[in-house]
Chain A
Amino acid sequence: MKKVLSIVLAAVMLLTLFCACAKTEAPAAEEPAAETPAETPAEEPAAEEPAAEEPAEEPAAELSGTVSTNGSTSMEKIIGALAEQFMADNSGVTVTYDPTGSGTGIEAVSAESCDIGLSSRALKDTETGLTGTIVALDGIAIIVNAENPVKDLTVEQIAAIFTGEITNWSELGGEDLEIACIGREAGSGTRDGFESITGTADACVLSQELTSTGAVIEAVKNSPNAIGYASLASAAGQDGINILTVGGVECTESTVQDGTYEIQRPFVLVTKDGVALSEAAQAFFDFATSADAADLIRAAGAVPVA
Chain B
Amino acid sequence: MKQNETRKRLRRAMHWICERGMHLLFLLCGIVSVAFVLFISVYLIISGIPAIREIGLVPFLFGTTWAPTAKTVEPSYGILPFLLTSVYGTAGACLLGVPIGILTAVFLAKVAPPKAAAVIRSAVQLLAGIPSVVYGLVGMIVLVPAIQRTFHLASGACLLAAIVVLTIMILPSIINVSETALRAVPREYEEGSLALGATEIETYFRVSLHAASSGVATSVVLGAGRAIGEAMAIIMVSGNVPNLPSLFGSVRFLTTAIASEMSYASVGSLQRQALFSIGLVLFLFILLINAFLNLVVKRRTN
A-side interface residues toward B, CB under 8 Å?
73, 99-101, 103-104, 107, 177-180, 182, 185-188, 201-203, 206-211, 215, 218-219, 222-223, 225-226
3 pairs of A and B residues whose beta carbons are closest in the complex: A187-B264, A178-B154, A180-B155
* Contact A209–B241 (Cβ < 8 Å): yes
Are A222 and B144 interface neighbours, CB within 8 A?
yes
A185, A218, A225: the one within 8 Å of B264 (CB): A185
- Verify A208–B72 contact, CB threshold 8 A: no
Q: Which of A103, A177, A187, A210 is close to B154, meaning CB atoms less than 8 Å apart?
A: A177
A185 touching B261 in the complex, CB below 8 Å, given contacts A177-B154, A223-B145: yes
B120 within 8 A of A: no
B157-A103 in contact (CB<8A): no
Structural contact, B69 and A186, CB atoms closer than 8 A: yes
* Chain B residues closer than 8 Å to A178, beta-carbon distance: 153-154
Which listed segment binds A: B79-87, B88-96, B232-240? B232-240
Nearest A-chain residue to B256, judged by Cβ = A211
Contacts of A188 in B (CB 8 A): 264
CA distance A177 to B152 in the complex (A): 9
**How distant is B243 from chain A, measured CB to nearest CB, in Å?**
9
Contact, CB under 8 Å: A209 / B155 = no
- CB neighbours (8 Å) of B72 from chain A are 201-203
Residues B250 and A209 in contact, CB atoms below 8 Å apart: yes
Residue of A nearest to B240 (CB): A209
Bound-state Cα–Cα, A177 to B149, Å = 12
Interface size class, chain B: 20 to 34
**Which residues of B are interface residues toward A (Cβ below 8 A)?**
67-73, 140-141, 144-145, 148, 153-157, 235-236, 239-242, 250, 252, 259-261, 263-267, 271
Contacts of A223 in B (CB 8 A): 144-145, 148, 155-156
Residue from B73, B144, B155, B236 whose CB has the most chain A CB atoms within 10 Å: B155
A208 interface neighbour in B67, B239, B242, Cβ under 8 Å: B239
Of chain B, the residue at the smallest CB distance from A182 is: B155
The answer to whether B236 touches A209 (Cβ under 8 A) is no
Report A254 CB to chain B, min CB distance, Å: 31
A-B contact count (CB 8 A): 92
On chain A, the residues within 8 Å of B259 by CB distance are 211
CB pair B154 A180 closer than 8 Å: yes
Complex partner residue of B261 from A187, A202, A215, CB under 8 angstroms: A187
Contact A186 B71 (CB under 8 A): no
Chain A residue nearest to B237 (CB atoms) is A208
Known: A206-B241, A219-B157, A223-B156. A201 touches B264 (CB 8 A): no
**Chain A: which residue is nearest B249 at the CB level?**
A207
A-B contact pairs, 17 of them (CB 8 A): A73-B264, A100-B267, A185-B261, A186-B68, A187-B261, A187-B263, A187-B271, A202-B67, A203-B72, A207-B157, A208-B155, A209-B242, A211-B260, A211-B263, A215-B236, A222-B140, A226-B155
The residue of chain A having its C-beta at the shortest distance from the C-beta of B250 within the complex is A207
What CA separation (Å) do A182 and B260 show in the bound complex? 15
Contact A222-B141, Cβ < 8 Å, known A180-B155, A202-B72, A208-B250: yes
Do the beta carbons of B267 and A207 come within 8 Å of each other?
no
Nearest CB on B from A29, distance (A): 30
Report B132 CB to chain A, min CB distance, Å. 15
> Contacts A107-B266, A180-B154, A222-B141 hold; do A187 and B69 have CB atoms under 8 A apart?
yes
Q: Is there contact, CB below 8 Å, between A208 and B240?
A: yes
In contact, B69 and A208 (Cβ under 8 angstroms): no
Flag if A186 contacts B155 (CB, 8 Å): no
Give me 8 other A-B pairs in contact (C-beta within 8 A), A180-B155, A222-B144 excluded: A179-B154, A187-B264, A202-B73, A206-B250, A208-B239, A223-B144, A223-B148, A226-B155
A104 neighbours in B (Cβ, 8 Å): 266-267
Question: Quick check: B70 and A202 within 8 Å, CB to CB?
Answer: yes
Query: A124: shortest Cβ distance to chain B, in Å?
Result: 10
A107 vs B71: C-alpha distance when bound (angstroms): 17
The winner among B71, B148, B264, B266 for most chain A CB atoms within 10 A is B264
Are A211 and B71 within 8 A (Cβ)?
no
Residue in A100, A203, A225 whose beta carbon sits within 8 Å of that of B155 in the complex: A225
